Structure 1
Amino acid sequence: MKVLVAGATGSTGARVVEHLQVRAHVAVALVRSSSDTSVLPEGVETRTGDLTDLRDDVCDGCDAVIFAAGSGADTDADMTDRVDRDGAMALVDRAKAAGVQRFVMLSSAGAESPDPESELGHYLKAKHDADEYLKASGLSYAIVRPVALTDDDGEREVRFGDEVEPDGEAARGDVASVLVDALASERWRNRTARMESIG
């Protein structure tokens, strides 16, 4: 499967690219012209693009998309909207036009019902809007909502859904593994679930 990865040079996205290669998928890393591509495995195909101004053909030739991008903790509300909401929605549109088989979205716990008064309220609302847009798109989708992320690799021991502890943690390595699992798993077809690492 040929998979476009948005956010491929980020902390989670780079792990996604590695998992795709290990599982014999072909990763296509969506990168900005200013991205540090040294974090990517040697020989990975790259495709230049910016989530705030995507080309119409950005998904052409790809079988699936994994959205693992994020505006970052230090960005303002406008950039959060442009990347986490509008950028994600634009990529959904490009994926649908290109006929991709599945769109896997990295979201966040709390996006199901964001509290506008919370510290992360604006970010979670942007994620919520992008998730709902994907659900309504007609694409086959999977939406993964991890709790607080750590930079650990994890042990591939995870749990999903209502049993997830709100104050738990999710290792980025585990999250990347789940995102790649969700590409073809029937268990993940049109599913939205919280996740946490328990290993």
Structure 2
Amino acid sequence: MTTLVIGANGQIGRQFCELAQAAGEPIRAMVRGETQRAWFEERGIPSVVADLEGDFAHALEGCDQLAFTAGSGPHTGPDKTLLIDLYGAMRAVDLAAERGLARFVMVSALRAEDPQAAPEKLRPYMAAKLAADAYLKASGVPWTILKPGRLIDEPATRRVATSLTETGGENTVSRANVAEALLHLVQAHGLSGREFLLLDGERAISEALS
């Protein structure tokens, strides 16, 4: 089962692609241009050039499921948030439905269910994630949603939590642990209709995301 990775060139996307490649999990990295493609080709990771803001239907050819890790990033405005985190995700869901993909794995965000609870500058992003998640759930495409907490750059521990109760309110998770969790979900082909919060914690990923 080949997984198209949208957002492959992001910080989580790159780590996930390297993990998947090492694990022998068939993937295709979707990147915006040839300059981005070089990094993946150097590592033997199959890639395809396509733009989430343009025509990317061809990227799905031969793929069975989709992992959406794309994000507009912290330095863009609400316009890019709408075009990438909301409309880009919606278009990907529509294509997944048209192609009859087996599953859509969405990387969302911890506070997406309550954008007003997020810091003010993040509220448009959280609102976009909330709407994209709802659109996916209503699409008829089998889905799994991963909702990481505040992202930090630390090595992978492969030990996580799925609630703030477990962490005593600590809401952080390393990007490396998100990549590890995403690999687990992509490989768990029968796991759908589930939504998981993800934080750094004490439980093995296979136990927490089951």
TM-score in terms of structure 1 length: 0.91
Matched, 1:11 2:14: no
Which residue number in structure 2 is paired with residue 20 of structure 1?
A: 20
Aligned AA (2:144)? A
* CA offset digits 1:60-81 (Å, max 9, x no partner): 2101111111101010101111
Which residue number in structure 1 is paired with residue 134 of structure 2?
A: 132
Alpha-carbon offset, residue 164 of structure 1: 5.4
> Which protein is richer in helix relative to its size?
2
* CA offset digits 1:54-111 (Å, max 9, x no partner): 3333312101111111101010101111000000111111122222111111111100
Matched, 1:185 2:188: yes
Retained in 1: the 8 A contact 2:28–2:46? yes
Aligned AA (1:8)? A
Retained in 2: the 8 A contact 1:58–1:94? no
In the aligned structure 1, how far is the partner of 2:71 from the partner of 2:108? 9
Which residue number in structure 2 is paired with residue 29 of structure 1?
A: 29
After TM superposition, list the pairs within 5 Å mapping 1:7-86 onto structure 2: 7-33=7-33, 35-40=35-40, 42-86=43-87
CA RMSD of aligned residues (A): 2.0
Alpha-carbon offset, residue 34 of structure 1: 6.0
In the aligned structure 2, how far is the partner of 1:134 from the partner of 1:43? 31
Alpha-carbon offset, residue 38 of structure 1: 4.4
Alpha-carbon offset, residue 26 of structure 1: 1.4
| Aligned-partner SS, 2:58 | coil
Q: 1:162 to 1:54 in 2, by over 3 A?
A: farther
Retained in 2: the 8 A contact 1:106–1:145? yes
Matched, 1:150 2:152: yes
Aligned AA (2:33)? S
In the aligned structure 2, how far is the partner of 1:104 from the partner of 1:13? 13
Retained in 2: the 8 A contact 1:109–1:147? yes
In the aligned structure 2, how far is the partner of 1:187 from the partner of 1:197? 25
In the aligned structure 1, how far is the partner of 2:13 from the partner of 2:104? 15
Retained in 1: the 8 A contact 2:104–2:141? yes
Retained in 2: the 8 A contact 1:9–1:35? no
Decide which moves more: 24-33 or 49-58.
49-58
Decide which moves more: 123-132 or 152-161.
152-161
Decide which moves more: 157-166 or 71-80.
157-166
2:143 to 112, 117, 141: 141
Aligned AA (1:26)? P
In the aligned structure 2, how far is the partner of 1:94 from the partner of 1:190? 19
Retained in 1: the 8 A contact 2:37–2:49? no
Q: 1:24 to 1:69 in 2, by over 3 A?
A: same
Alpha-carbon offset, residue 16 of structure 1: 1.0
Q: How many residues align?
A: 199
Alpha-carbon offset, residue 170 of structure 1: 0.7
| Aligned-partner SS, 2:111 | coil
Retained in 1: the 8 A contact 2:108–2:148? yes
Decide which moves more: 33-42 or 21-30.
33-42
Structure 1 unaligned runs (5+)?
none
Structure 2 unaligned runs (5+)?
203-210
| Aligned-partner SS, 2:116 | coil
Retained in 1: the 8 A contact 2:8–2:69? yes
Which residue number in structure 2 is paired with residue 104 of structure 1?
A: 105
TM-score in terms of structure 2 length: 0.87
Percent pairwise identity: 33
